[in-house]
Structure 1
Amino acid sequence: MPVIPVDKPLGLTSHDVVNRARRARGTRRVGHTGTLDPLATGVLVLCVNDSTKLVQFMEADSKEYLAWIALGGTSPTLDAEGPLTEVVPVSPPSEEEARAVLAGFVGPQAQVPPQYSAIQVGGQRAYAVARAGGALDLPARNIVIHALELLGISNRMAESPRTFARGSGGWTPDPTGRTFTLPEPLGEFPTLLVRASVSSGTYLRSLARDVGAALGVPAHLAGLVRTRVGRYDLADSVSVEDLAEAEGFPDLAALDLPRMEADEPLARALRQGKRPKSAVVGRHVVTRDGELVAVVDGNGKELRVVRAWTGA
C-alpha cells in the first residue's frame, strides 16, 4: 500500500519522481508502471512498499494521451528537445486528409522505436549509442493503437489548444479547464492535436514520425500529456509536492482482473505456493475477506500462483 498516480511535471524524468517519492514516503520500495519522457507530463503511476508487487500486473495497462504533432521539422529525439535536423515548408493538411492518415494507424501493428529510447540491443542502450553519434538496428515491436481522434489543426504550435477539461469521452479542449505546460516549440510548424488511446509499449514519438511520413513530411512530437494509465486518470493524480500526504489507492483496486473469493484452506494453500485443484480458467485475483491473497493462473484443473501476499 498504496498505489499513487502522480502528475509528472515537465522536465523531470520518471526516475526523478521515484526518488522524490522515496524521500517523501521514507522508503526505498517505490516503483512505477511505465516511463514518461522528461518532456512529457501527466500520469505516472507509483507503487509504494508492498504495492510494488503489483507492478508486473500493471505494466501492460493501456494508456491515453494528448499529443501535439508538429509537421515540417524533425529532431534526433523525435520530440521538442531538438535540435532540428530537417525542415521543409509545409501547409496544414485538411481535416479530411489528417483524419484519413490517423485512421490508417489504428489497430495492431509493428512500430519501430526511437533511437533515443531505453531499449537494449546486445547489452547497449539505444539512447547511449545515439548520444555517441551511432545508431542501433532496433527491431519493430508489436503494439496496438486503439483510437486516434483529431481534436484540431493549427497553423503553428502556439495557436494549438493547451487548456482542457475532462469529459465523458476524455480530455477535450475547454477554455474553462486546466492549462497544461508544454515544451517550448522548435519552430513555427503546423500542428495536429490528437487524442490517442494505445497499448503499453507504444511510442508517441514514433507515431509522430510515422504520421508525418504518411503525410509526406518530417514531423516530431511537440508536446505530450498522458491523461490515463489503466484505471487511473489525470484527474485522480497528485502533484509531486503532495506525495508525502497522498492517500493513494488500495492494492486490490489496482488490479483489473476477475476476482474469486477463497475460503481459509484455499487461501493458506495459495500462500504456501501449492497448486490446489480448481475448475477456474484464466488469470484471477484471489481474495479472502477483502484482503489480497494471490494472483493465479487457472487451467481448468488447478491454480498456479503467479504472486502471493502474506496474511495480516
Structure 2
Amino acid sequence: MSAPRARVVRRPVHGVLLLDKPRGLSSNDALQKAKWLLRAEKAGHTGTLDPLATGVLPLCFGAATKFSQLHLDADKTYEAIAVLGVKTSTGDAEGEVIAQRPVPAVTQERLAQLRAQFTGPQRQLPPMHSALKKDGKALYEYARAGQEVAREPRDITVHAFDLALTEDAGRPALRFTARVSKGTYIRTLGEDLGEALGCGAHLSLLRRIATGPFGIGQCTSLAALEALDEDERLAALLPAEALLDGHARVTLDPDNAGRFLSGLRRRGHWPDQDAVAVFGERPVALLGTGHVKAGELIPGRLLSPIEIQQILQSHEAIATP
C-alpha cells in the first residue's frame, strides 16, 4: 500500500513566470505544474498555446493575475513548419489525414509572392478545432462530434512574415516566422499557405518565440524550475509590473497613494494617458493601474494593501542572504 501523498501547503506568491511550454502539455496542465512547484495560492495565464505548440507562455501568480487580460492583446511571434501536400482534420500533425495532393515546384519568386500575399491585414476564418464559442459551446466540441458550423472571418494583421523551403520527414515543407496580431491562428495560416500553392498543408511544428515584450531567451522550462530550491523558484519570477509594458508611470506620495488605493481619484499635473502604472513613493511599490484625463488620475485595477505588503516582504526575503 503506497504512502499518502503529502498535502501541499499553499502560500501567497506574486509575479510572472516566463515558461517555455513543452510539447504535448496543455497550457492549463503547465500552469498547474508550475503552481504546484511554487506552492502558489492563485494562478492564471495570458492566453493558451495548443498542446502541439511549445514556447513562451507567461504564467501569472497572485497580484499579477489582475493584469493578465492586458496581455491578451499583445502581438505574438511564431516559428512554424507547414508540411506541403497533406491536409489533416485539425490543421496539425495530431489530426487524421483527409487529403493528399502533389506539391508543385516552389521557386524563390513564388516564395516572394507568398511573403507579400500573407503580410499585412488579412481576413481569416477561425478553425473548427479552436476554443471559440458558438451558442455557448466551443467549436472543437462540434468538431469532435463530426459537425461543422458556420463561422465569420475575422480581421487579423500579419505584421512581419518570412518563409523558406525546407523538408520535414522527407516531405517538402515551408518553414515560416510570423509576427501577428491577437486572434491569429497559425494553424490556419499554414493551411492557407498550402491552399495558395494548390496542394494543402498542415503544421508539424509550432513554437511561440515572443509575446509582447517577452522573448524565448527569457523563459525557463518546467524541468529547470523543478531543479531549483524554493527561494530560487521565487527569484525566477518577474514582478507583476512586467505585464504593464507600454504604461506610463505615475508615482504618488504616501498620502495620495493611500487615497488612490481606496479607489479615489487624484488630481495632479499629469498629461492625459490611456494607461498608467501607479506606484507608491515610500516604499516604492506597484499600487495598480489607471488612466489620466484632464489632470485627474482615475483608478483601474488595484492591488490590495495585503498584496502590496506580501510583495514587499518577499522582496526583502530574497534580498536577505
TM-score range, shorter chain: 0.7 to 0.9
Tell me which protein shows more helix as a share of its residues: 2
Measure how far apart 1:216 and its partner are.
2.1
- Which 10-residue stretch deviates more, 26-35 or 3-12? 26-35
Q: Given the two structures, how large is their TM-score scaled by the length of structure 1?
A: 0.85
Per-residue Cα deviation, 1:115-174 (whole angstroms, up to 9, x for no partner): 000110111110011001001222222222110012x202x313xxxxxxxxxxxxxxxx
C-alpha distance in 2 between matches for 1:267 and 1:143: 40
User: For residue 278 of structure 2, what is the aligned residue in structure 1?
Assistant: 286
Of 216, 227, 243, 2:209 maps to: 227
Cα 1:129–1:52 shift into 2, 3 Å? same
Relative contact order (C-alpha < 8 Å, sep 6+): which is higher?
A: 1
Cα distance in 1 for partners of 2:123, 2:54 equals: 25
Q: Equivalents in 1 of 2:41, 2:224: separation in Å?
A: 18
Which amino acid in structure 2 is aligned with residue 4 of structure 1? Answer: L
Aligned to 1:53: 66
Task: Evaluate the alpha carbon distance shift between residue 116 and residue 93 of structure 1 in structure 2; reply closer, same or farther with a 3 A threshold.
Answer: same
| CA apart distance, 1:81 | 0.7
Aligned to 1:189: 171
C-alpha contact 1:281 1:300 (8 A) present in aligned 2: no
Q: Tell me if the contact between 1:115 and 1:135 (Cα under 8 Å) persists in the aligned partners.
A: yes
Distance across 1 between alignment mates of 2:135 and 2:296: 39
241-250 vs 284-293, greater mean Cα deviation: 241-250
TM-score, normalised to structure 2, is 0.82
Partner of 1:153: 165
Q: Within 2, Cα distance between the matches of 1:76 and 1:28? A: 39
CA displacement at 1:92 relative to structure 2:
4.1
Asked if structure 1 preserves the Cα contact closer than 8 Å seen for 2:104 and 2:197, the reply is: no
Conserved in 2, the CA contact under 8 Å of 1:146 and 1:199?
Answer: yes
- Structure 2 equivalent of residue 161 of structure 1: none
Say whether the 8 Å CA contact 1:92–1:191 is kept in structure 2. Answer: no
Gaps of 5+ in 2: 1-13, 310-321
Residues 21-54 of structure 1 show CA distances to partners (whole Å, capped at 9, x for unaligned) of: 1211113411111211111111111011222112
Give the number of the structure whose alpha-carbon radius of gyration is greater: 2
Task: Name the amino acid aligned to 1:67.
Answer: A
TM-superposition CA deviations, 1:175-210 (whole Å, max 9, x none): xxxxxxxxxxxxx53111111111222110011111
Aligned 1:251-290 pairs, distance under 5 A: 251-256=240-245, 257-278=247-268, 279-289=271-281, 290=284
Between 199-208 and 215-224, the greater mean CA deviation after superposition: 215-224
Q: For residues 243 and 51 of structure 1, do their structure 2 counterparts lie closer, same or farther at Cα, with a shift above 3 Å needed?
A: farther
Of 32, 52, 62, which aligns to 1:19? 32
Deviation, 1:303, is 2.9
- Do the aligned partners of 1:297 and 1:304 also contact (CA within 8 Å) in 2? yes
- 1:303 aligned onto 2:307: no
Aligned-residue RMSD, C-alpha: 1.7
Confirm or deny: 8 A CA contact 2:248 2:273 kept in the other structure. no
The reply on whether 1:142 has 2:145 as its aligned counterpart is no
Q: Tell me the CA shift for residue 102 of structure 1.
A: 2.4
Aligned length: 281
Task: Give the 4+ runs in structure 1 shifted more than 6 A.
Answer: none
Percentage of pairs with the same residue = 36
